[in-house]
Chain A
C-alpha cells in the first residue's frame, strides 16, 4: 500500500488566510470546492479548455483545474465569491451581466467574470474586438456571447 504524503499549504482566499493539509495531486479547483466549500468555481471540462474554473491568482486569471492546490501555497486567490464584499450587492460587472441577460444556465458565468475583471482593470474602455479576443478562452453554450459582449461594454461605460 502506497503511503501518500500530505502537504500543508498556507494561502489567502478572498482575503481570508487558509491552512490545509492535502494530497499533492489535488487540483486547485477541487480544493476550492471540496475543502473550502467555495462552489462558485465551476468545473466544466477539467482539462483547461472551457474556462469555467477561471480564478485569480495574485490578480491574474488562471485555470484552477490545471493547477495543483500545492502550487497555490503562499499565493493570494480570488474566486467569484470574493468579487463583492457585500453578499447582498453585486460587483458592477455582475450587475451588468444581469442587466443585459448575459447568462442563461449560468454554469460558465463565474469563469467569464473572473476572466473579465482583470481585463477591465487593464482595459477600462475596450472595443468589441478586444472583448471577443479575451473571451476566446471561455466557452458558453447558451448565450451565443452577444449579450456577454454587451455586458462588458455596459460595465465599461459605468
Chain B
C-alpha cells in the first residue's frame, strides 16, 4: 500500500528543524530512519500532514566519549554505527550486546537510536536498555532544552514525555559503575523478530560482595519498558547466590509483571518467560559484576 500525501521538509540544521516542528505541531512528524514510521504510513495507520526529515541535520549525528567514562550520542546516530563502535563496546557493553537483537542489518543501516527511543514500541529493546543503563535524553524545542531520565520518558503505549514541538537531540549514557554487571535476554520466534519477552539487567555489588543496586527492565510485557521493583527489593543487600536470584525472578513474575496475551503468546507463557529470563539475566549480570 502507498502512503497518503504529506508536505515534506528537509531542514539542514537543528534550528530549521525545530522551527518546522513548532510550526506544524500535532500534524507534523519527525522522519529519522523511518523504519517504523514508513511501514505505518504504508498501511495508512499514520497519515501525518507534514514530515520533517532530519536526515540532513548533521549536528544530530555524533558519538562522543565523555570525560566521566560515559557516552554522548546524537539522536540521528544509526543503529549500525552503534553496533560497530569500539567506544560503545567498551563503555556501554550492554548496548553493544543489544544491537544484533534489533531487527536485521538492512534495518539497522537506516534505523537511528533516537528514532527507536522516541517511537516507544513496547516490544523494542532500546527503550528498556536505556532505562536499565540510567540514561537520560536531551529534548529540544524552540523553547529550549530539557533533560529527561529514560525512566521518566516512557509514559504509556507508544506515548512519551515528548511534546509535539520537541525532538530527542541527544542521549547521555553514564559510565558503568565499578563492580557492575549487565545482561540482555530475549525470546523471539526467529532472530530479528520482535521479542515475545525480553529483559535488560544492570546490577552493582558493594565491596562486601552484596547487591547494592539492581535494575531489571522488561520489554514486550506491557505498555513500555517495565521495571521489576519487587525483584530489586529481594536482591538489595543480599549475596547474589542462586537462591536469592531465583526468588527475585519469581517476585518479578508474580508481583511486578502482569503480561497480556496475543497471537504470539498467552499471558501464562509470558509470565513463565519473565521468571526464566529474569533468572538468566541476573545470573549473567552478577557473574560479570563479580569479575568487574
User: Within 8 Å CB of A57, what residues of B?
Assistant: 109
B110 CB-CB contact with A under 8 Å:
yes
Q: Mark B86-130, 1 if CB is under 8 A from A, else 0.
A: 000000000000001001111101100000000000000000000
Tell me the minimal C-beta distance from B256 to chain A in angstroms. Answer: 31
Does the CB pair B192–A47 fall under 8 Å?
no
User: Within 8 Å CB of A51, what residues of B?
Assistant: 104, 106
Tell me the minimal C-beta distance from B120 to chain A in angstroms. Answer: 18
B34 CB-CB contact with A under 8 Å:
yes
B residues 9-66 near A (Cβ < 8 Å) are 10, 31, 34-35, 38-39, 42-43, 51, 53, 55
Q: Which of A48, A60, A115 contacts B38 (CB 8 A)?
A: A48
User: Within 8 Å CB of B53, what residues of A?
Assistant: 68, 70-71
A42 CB-CB contact with B under 8 Å:
no
- Give the docked Cα–Cα distance between A61 and B80 (Å): 11
Q: How many A-B residue pairs have CB under 8 A?
A: 84
Tell me the minimal C-beta distance from B260 to chain A in angstroms. Answer: 23
Does the CB pair A61–B109 fall under 8 Å?
yes
Interface size class of B (residues with CB under 8 A): 20 to 34
Does the CB pair B109–A60 fall under 8 Å?
yes
Does the CB pair A63–B42 fall under 8 Å?
no
Q: Which of A4, A24, A73, A137 contacts B105 (CB 8 A)?
A: A137
Q: Given that A67-B110, A71-B55 are contacting pairs, would A47 and B39 also be in contact in the complex, using a CB cutoff of 8 Å?
A: yes
User: Within 8 Å CB of B100, what residues of A?
Assistant: 133
Q: Given that A63-B106, A68-B34, A115-B106 are contacting pairs, would A47 and B191 also be in contact in the complex, using a CB cutoff of 8 Å?
A: no
User: Within 8 Å CB of B192, what residues of A?
Assistant: 136-137
**Which residues of A pack against B, CB within 8 Å?**
2, 4-5, 7, 23-25, 27, 30, 46-48, 51, 54, 57, 60-63, 65-68, 70-71, 73, 115, 119, 133-134, 136-137
Sample of 16 further A-B pairs with CB below 8 A, known A63-B35, A137-B103: A25-B2, A25-B5, A27-B3, A27-B38, A46-B1, A46-B42, A60-B80, A63-B107, A66-B34, A68-B8, A68-B31, A70-B8, A71-B31, A119-B105, A133-B100, A137-B192
Chain A to chain B: the 5 pairs with minimum beta-carbon distance, closest first: A137-B104, A24-B8, A47-B39, A66-B38, A60-B109
